[in-house]
Amino acid sequence: MTLPRVGFIGLGVMGKPMAKNLIKAGYPLTVWRHINPTPVNELVSSGAREASSLKQLAEMSDIVITMLPDSAEVEEVILGANGVLKGAKRGLIIIDMSSISPLSAQRIAAEAEKAGVEMLDAPVSGGEPAAIQGTLTTMVGGKEETFNKCLDVLKVMGKTITRVGNTGTGQVAKLSNQIIVALNIAAVSEAFVLGSKAGVDPKVLYNAIRTGLAGSNVLDAKISKIAERNFKPGFRIKLHHKDLKNALEAARDLSVPLPLTSLVQQVLAALINDGKGDDDHSAIVNFSEHLAGVEVRS
């Protein structure tokens, strides 16, 4: 069976290992040199081809995957004057795996459809470790027929893949995920700051509560980073702030109040103002630590 040709745009912390997994699985991969040439050179040395432009990347691909920071960047590379649609043939499929606004996803898909191009919004969760291991959780919006065509490609990068509904619903699911993660990290932060102020070792506190109702994947994944003061980014604070912004904008359009989400977004904004925007979102703990005058440290 001949595998479809895949173009990949956005070779950052998440995108580069996702693209590597496609190469390992045998997919003919084309990448585009944008801001940082280093990941492009690395992937080319692993067997990828390099396109000189987005137009050429589209011409060389059956499926184009984007993994970019936010709505504006995705709209620019797909809809821009020199974007993907300029080189797209009818039947091309775009899979946007970025975390963007649901309305933006719907707008891009509508423009793509005019050019005979199909689109899925397929944001992911799991961070850099899952991107490397190919075990991402993928939430997909779009037509079922298009989803079925792309399922094998998505399975290379993810373990749990769910079609949520029509265009934009993948982004709604991702925003829901990001609300829960952000509020969970904030709750873990406050609880462990309380424990540290009382003199309880954070690893002992973790073992005491992790198998009870307070246990969670977030607690398991983040407490070691917090206790070891390792805030190397797996998912940056500034990107989580962006996701909550998109969640609040979607909530406003749907007349849904999100008071706790709004509060945590302000915490993230304060941390960004304090120069911590590129830290891992486990550094949310720094906000509570500063207020209490204590560090959560083993």
Contacts of 160 (CB under 8 A, 6+ apart): 137, 138
Task: Tell me if 5 sits within 8 A of 61, measured CB to CB.
Answer: yes
Contacts of 179 (CB under 8 A, 6+ apart): 244, 247, 258, 261
Q: Count of CB atoms within 10 A of residue 86's CB?
A: 17
d(CA 7, CA 34): 14
Q: Count of CB atoms within 10 A of residue 3's CB?
A: 15
Q: Is 86 a catalytic residue?
A: no
Residue 285: C-alpha distances to residues 79, 196, 199, 223, 251 (Å): 39, 12, 17, 10, 26
Contacts of 259 (CB under 8 A, 6+ apart): none
Sign, Cα dihedral of 43, 155, 174, 178: negative
Residue with tokens 């173009």: 7
List the catalytic residue out of 174, 238, 242, 276.
174
What are the catalytic residues? 174
